[in-house]
Structure 1
Amino acid sequence: MDLNHLYFVQQCALMRAARAADALAHSRYQAAADRIAGRIARFQHAAGAGIVSQAGVR
């Protein structure tokens, strides 16, 4: 699985959600981004990667 590609596709979906013309389109793009985030998380968990905290990261 290419995580870089998944991150790219997720970011595209988030950008599309942000500029969606209506609530339905926003919901669809947001749902797609959420599904992709789930795939990324499952892959990382299966690979033994823990949750990385963004606290203090600038």
Structure 2
Amino acid sequence: MDLNDLLHRHQVALMRAATATTSQARQSHDGTARCYETKIETLRTMLGASGRMVAA
């Protein structure tokens, strides 16, 4: 998975969390977004990118 794909999936998870109709669904999507954040940070480090993601 490349960085753009990870960023896209992270954004989709955040949007799904924001529109979730139950707290369980919101927590699930938030957890998915956090997993993508970790993968994104790891890949950015491997690529030598500076800076960290900032939660909205």
Q: So what's the TM-score if we normalise by structure 2?
A: 0.83
Identity over the aligned pairs, expressed in percent? 33
CA RMSD in angstroms, aligned pairs only: 1.8
Q: Map of 1:1-58 to 2, 5 A cutoff?
A: 1-51=1-51
Q: So what's the TM-score if we normalise by structure 1?
A: 0.80
Contact 2:13 2:32 in 1 (8 A): yes
What whole-Å deviation, never above 9, does each CA across 1:14-56 have from its counterpart, x for those lacking one?
00000101111000001101100110101111222221588xx
Higher helix share: 2
Could you list the structure 1 runs, at least 4 aligned residues long, displaced by more than 3 angstroms after superposition.
none
Which structure 2 residue ranges, 5 or more long, are not aligned?
Answer: none
Paired residues, what number?
Answer: 54
Relative distance call for 1:53 and 1:12 in structure 2 (3 A) is closer
Which structure 1 residue ranges, 5 or more long, are not aligned?
Answer: none
Q: Distance in 1 between matches of 2:27 and 2:53?
A: 27
